[in-house]
Amino acid sequence: MSSSSEPKAPSLKPWLRLRRGLEHDFGVVKVREDKVVDPRTQQEHPRVRMDCADWVNVIAVTKQDALVMVRQFRFGIDASTLELPGGCVEPGEAPEVAAARELEEETGYRAGRLESLGAVHPNPAFQSNQSHVFLALDCERVSDGHQDDGEDIAVELHPRADVPRLILEGHITHSLAVVAFFMEQLRADARR
């Protein structure tokens, strides 16, 4: 028996792509349907793939221990959501640079310190990108922000201690925001 506490991953064969489908470019995402072969059964299956830029999400905390959050309309659910500031990593841009840029563009706040909490795959079943999570501390408002065309964002401040309640009561429902707060908690627990 191994002395490592990590479970041994089973060895899986890759699914080979037989045919690459026609790509549809929607600006923020490229979508295509490929034909792949199951390595276990050798049967062909269609699989959708969505190629997106990497994303950043920022847990922004002011010197007064308030969270800087954003509320914006989301077309997938036809409703507004309470979320973390964030957005796309531009081509050639480092994730930490994107995090600082998106925070300031969306909220007008600038971080005194920026710390990476890690990255997750939003949905590896069909998405290729990662979402990078950052903790921005000692944030101060430096402008009114510079929202992109197509953005209509309201900035809200919430007490940091309210995060569990905001999640459990369904005020924060965006899964990547919930994951970001979980990653922050895991990092804090590991430091103790």
pLDDT tens, residue by residue, 2-24: 456 777 877 888 999 999 999 99
Last residue of a domain, one of 51, 76, 96: 51
Mark whether 57 and 47 lie in a shared domain: no
pLDDT tens, residue by residue, 98-152: 999 999 999 999 999 999 999 999 999 999 999 999 999 999 999 988 887 878 8
Mark whether 82 and 40 lie in a shared domain: no
Q: Per the structure block, which two tokens stand in for 173?
A: 């429902």
Mark whether 57 and 46 lie in a shared domain: no
Mark whether 128 and 71 lie in a shared domain: yes
Q: Residue 35: its pLDDT value, please?
A: 96
Note whether 86 and 68 are within 8 A (CB). no
pLDDT tens, residue by residue, 180-191: 999 999 998 888
pLDDT tens, residue by residue, 31-74: 999 999 999 999 999 999 999 999 999 999 999 999 999 999 99
What residues make up the domain containing 71? 53-191
Question: Is 68 within the bounds of a domain?
Answer: yes
Question: Which domain CATH number covers 80?
Answer: 3.90.79.10
Mark whether 61 and 118 lie in a shared domain: yes
Mark whether 36 and 115 lie in a shared domain: no
Q: Which amino acid is at 135?
A: L
pLDDT tens, residue by residue, 40-50: 999 999 999 99
Mark whether 74 and 115 lie in a shared domain: yes
Note whether 114 and 135 are within 8 A (CB). yes
Q: Residue 3: its pLDDT value, please?
A: 52
Task: Report, as an integer, the average pLDDT of 152-162.
Answer: 95
Q: Residue 11: its pLDDT value, please?
A: 83
Q: Residue 148: its pLDDT value, please?
A: 78
Mark whether 148 and 109 lie in a shared domain: yes
Question: Is 9 within the bounds of a domain?
Answer: no
Helix (H) or strand (E) holding 55: strand 55-62
The residues that are catalytic are 151
Q: Residue 131: its pLDDT value, please?
A: 97
Note whether 57 and 131 are within 8 A (CB). yes
Q: Residue 1: its pLDDT value, please?
A: 46
Mark whether 57 and 43 lie in a shared domain: no
Question: Is 156 within the bounds of a domain?
Answer: yes
Question: Is 121 within the bounds of a domain?
Answer: yes
Coarse DSSP helix, strand, coil percentages of the chain, rounded to the nearest 5 percent: 20, 40, 40
Tell me what the pLDDT averaged over the chain comes to: 93
| Number of domains forming the structure of the chain | 2
Mark whether 164 and 71 lie in a shared domain: yes
What letters, b where the CB count within 10 A reaches 16 and e where it falls short, cover 79-111?
eebbbbbbbbbeeeeebbebbbbbbbbbbbbbb
HEC readout, 118-185: EEECCCCCCECCCEEEEEEEEEEECCCCCCCCCCCCEEEEEEHHHHHHHHHCCCCCCHHHHHHHHHHH
Question: Is 75 within the bounds of a domain?
Answer: yes
Question: Is 3 within the bounds of a domain?
Answer: no
